[in-house]
Amino acid sequence: MTGAAMAEPVIDLMTGEALARSAGYRGVTNAFRNWCAKLRITSMPGRRGYFDRKLVRRRYDEAQGLASDATSEPGSMTPMDKRRARRGEG
């Protein structure tokens, strides 16, 4: 198998500046940081200022009440799913 045949998982990151502007802020300000903390949007571990688009989308959905059934009912989640949800993975 060649390297091209094996698909690498893609981690799509965005900068804090891009996230702030897409959320309607002028830039990465204290108000933006407070908003991120309120929605539990955190930067990538070891990559301060870079955010995972999947996590951001999931947090937006939760804030709007659009979370899937699996995430809205903690009793139906497996222990691994709960761990991933706590860590913002997946």
Q: How does pLDDT run across 35-82, given as a tens digit for each residue?
A: 999 999 999 999 899 999 999 999 999 988 887 654 445 566 777 777
Query: Tell me, what's the pLDDT at 9?
Result: 73
Main-chain dihedrals φ then ψ at residue 83, nearest 5 degrees: -65, -45
Query: Tell me, what's the pLDDT at 12?
Result: 86
- Integer CA distances (angstroms), 21 to 17, 18, 50, 87, 89, in order: 6, 5, 14, 25, 24
Segment 4-13 shows an average pLDDT of 73
The H-or-E segment that residue 18 falls in is helix 16-22
